[in-house]
Amino acid sequence: MRHEPGALLRSEGEIVRDDAVFRDYAEMRSLPMRALRLWPAREWSIDTLVSFAVDDVLLTNWFIPVDLARRRMFFNQTYAQAARDFPMRFRFGDGRYALESQPVACSGRYVVVGGPVDGAWYHWLFNWCPRLLLLRVLHPELFDRPDLRFVVHPLALREPFRSVLDTFGIAADRLFAVDPAKDYRLETAHLVSFLDEEKLFPDLIRSFRTHLVRAWGLEEVPRHGGVFASRQALAAPKRRIANFSEIEPVLAQASLTVASLGDMPAVEQARLFRGAELVVGAHGSDLSNLLFCRPGTPVVVIESQYSIDMSLHVGLKYLCEALGLTYEFLITPVIGQPGPEAPASRWIDRDYRVDPGFLADALRHATARDGLTYAALSRGEGEAFVETCYRRLLGKQADAAGMAHYLHRLYGEGASKRDVIAELLRTPDGVARGAVVRGLEDGAEP
């Protein structure tokens, strides 16, 4: 296989979806798959996942392929928001593209795997690498062809990404790591659907979990107290715990292992989560390892009010749902106030300040065997009752305005405890958390 600098190439044409035109190509195969759209609203669909072969393909940045003969750019072969979030080496608009390139010419046949272009463990596990699992279903024979190579991002050859790649038994000399700054002209490319990062594919996710657990021999990992996914080693602000020393005794009391996962091999990360009785951590890519947890494992995610208001939490919430995990979030105060013109990342990445008592209470309830019941919620009176409802139903502590409002509902307007609980469940935070209170409909007032 030759990889040689090429002549200047110009191309312009239409932007298409691979699932709309795959029938035009050789070796085309497809598989219907349930998909759950996360944003802007939860919505189920049946998506067509595809694989097919294309001759004379330009592979430009973010692993976007272009069929040079038909002048088609398959823009859905990468992140849905790639054009918004990353610089592109081509022009596009109104369903058209135009580019000039001096690509590296590559003879032979290739499978375009791609990723992780942003170094995100989450996207490697749920968007890029599952392409190989899909390819094994649609075109298993490709894995046995010694003349075929797999195109990957250079980061895919490093830990923790490489360990996942190795579970597919691809020999090292068949992996072709491209320079992200260059375009490549491939003689023949086998394309396979990119899993849209704005969706979850629960059936494929569960199959991928089974594949990795078996490949790494994690079926019988011993149980342990649990894991706190620490972000303390990251440069602030990055959703760290600003008062971490204050919550360390709480984590120790809950028998949680404090783990900085960034430098940990993939198999060790998976083993740690596979054996955990409880998982706690701030919103972040480290919690991608929830993939390896046993069904029924309780998960507590520390979030900001901004994250909840912007529905940024739903990815982890619905991932837990797909994996059969018990999910709840805690809304905590944050450090700093970005200006009105600050990018969204500045708002998202602010560090947290976590009240130790609030966290201890949440961890006790997360591991309680009887779940959330009307009888337990309604035991207290006055401020104690309202505070308990805020913590258990909304995942945060009551503020002064909320406390005053619900005390007035109880003692000024004669509302019942059941009324207050129902009202809190209907608030935006209550809907986002999705708590279920057993016995609410038939519980008698204490």
In the predicted structure, residue 330 carries a pLDDT above the cut 50:
yes
pLDDT of residue 258: 97
Give the pairing type, strands 298-303 and 326-331.
parallel
Flag whether 204 is in a domain: no
pLDDT category, 6, cuts 50, 70, 90? Answer: low
Flag whether 206 is in a domain: no
pLDDT of residue 5: 63
pLDDT of residue 299: 96
| pLDDT tens sequence across 13-32 | 999 999 999 999 999 999 99
In the predicted structure, residue 427 carries a pLDDT above the cut 50:
yes
pLDDT of residue 83: 72
299 and 356 in a single domain? The answer is yes
14 and 140 in a single domain? The answer is yes
Range(s) of the domain holding residue 138: 3-199
The CATH number for 275's domain is 3.40.50
101 and 172 in a single domain? The answer is yes
Q: Which of 172, 199, 226 corresponds to the end of one domain?
A: 199
260 and 283 in a single domain? The answer is yes
Domain count, the chain: 3
In the predicted structure, residue 443 carries a pLDDT above the cut 50:
no
Both tokens assigned to 202: 């629960």
In the predicted structure, residue 381 carries a pLDDT above the cut 60:
yes
Q: Which of 142, 168, 199 corresponds to the end of one domain?
A: 199
pLDDT category, 337, cuts 50, 70, 90? Answer: confident
SS (H, E, C) the chain: CCEEECCCEEEEEEEECHHHHHHHCEEEEEEEEEEEECCCCCEEEEEEEEEEEEEEEEECHHHCEEECCCCEEEHHHCCCCHHHHCCCCCEEECCEEEEEECCEEEEEEEEEEECCCCCCHHHHHHHHCHHHHHHHHHCHHHHHCCCEEEEECHHHHCCCHHHHHHCCCCCHHHEEECCCCCCEEEEEEEEECCCCCCEECHHHHHHHHHHHHHHCCCCCCCCECCEEECCCCCCCCCCCECCHHHHHHHHHHCCCEEECCCCCCHHHHHHHHHCECCEEEECCHHHHHHHHCCCCCEEEEEECHHHHHCCCCHHHHHHHHHHCCEEEEEECCECCCCCCCCCHHHHHCCCECCCHHHHHHHHHHHCCCCCCEHHHHCCCCHHHHHHHHHHHHHCCCCCHHHHHHHHHHHHCCCCCHHHHHHHHHHCHHHHHHCCCCECCCCCCCC
Segment 77-99 mean pLDDT: 88
Provide the percentage of residues in the chain whose pLDDT is more than 90: 84
333 and 439 in a single domain? The answer is no
Q: Which of 331, 353, 369 corresponds to the end of one domain?
A: 369
Flag whether 208 is in a domain: no
| pLDDT tens sequence across 176-206 | 999 999 999 999 999 999 999 999 999 999 9
Rounded CA separation 355/249 (Å)? 12
Both tokens assigned to 97: 């593209």
186 and 43 in a single domain? The answer is yes
Can you give the pTM of this predicted structure? 0.90
pLDDT of residue 81: 81
Residues in the chain: 446
Provide the percentage of residues in the chain whose pLDDT is more than 70: 97
pLDDT of residue 341: 85
Query: The sheet that has 298-303: what strands, in order across it?
Result: 257-259, 227-229, 279-282, 298-303, 326-331
pLDDT category, 4, cuts 50, 70, 90? Answer: low
Q: Is 193 left (phi over 0), alpha (psi -120 to 50) or beta?
A: beta
pLDDT of residue 145: 94
44 and 175 in a single domain? The answer is yes
Mean pLDDT of all residues belonging to the chain: 93
| pLDDT tens sequence across 293-310 | 999 999 999 999 999 999
pLDDT category, 211, cuts 50, 70, 90? Answer: very high
- Side-chain-side CA neighbours of residue 411 (13 Å): 10
Flag whether 211 is in a domain: no
* Type of residue numbered 300: V
In the predicted structure, residue 209 carries a pLDDT above the cut 80:
yes
248 and 135 in a single domain? The answer is no
Compute φ and ψ for 211, nearest 5 degrees: -60, -50
Residues 6+ apart with CB under 8 A from 186: 56, 57, 58, 59, 106, 108, 110, 112, 151
Higher local confidence (pLDDT), 339 or 62: 62
Flag whether 207 is in a domain: no
Compute φ and ψ for 319, nearest 5 degrees: -65, -45
In the predicted structure, residue 446 carries a pLDDT above the cut 60:
no
Q: Decide: 30 and 22 in contact? Cβ < 8 Å.
A: yes
17 and 126 in a single domain? The answer is yes
Q: Is 434 left (phi over 0), alpha (psi -120 to 50) or beta?
A: left
Residues 6+ apart with CB under 8 A from 394: 331, 424, 427, 429, 430, 433
Q: Decide: 378 and 392 in contact? Cβ < 8 Å.
A: no
331 and 391 in a single domain? The answer is no
Q: Decide: 78 and 131 in contact? Cβ < 8 Å.
A: no
pLDDT of residue 300: 97
Q: Decide: 68 and 57 in contact? Cβ < 8 Å.
A: yes
324 and 247 in a single domain? The answer is yes
Flag whether 365 is in a domain: yes
Flag whether 209 is in a domain: no
| pLDDT tens sequence across 251-292 | 999 999 999 998 899 999 999 999 999 999 999 999 999 999
62 and 162 in a single domain? The answer is yes
Flag whether 228 is in a domain: yes
Token pair 């994250």 is found at: 307
Q: Taking the alpha carbons of 233, 237, 241, 245 in that order, is the dihedral positive or negative?
A: positive
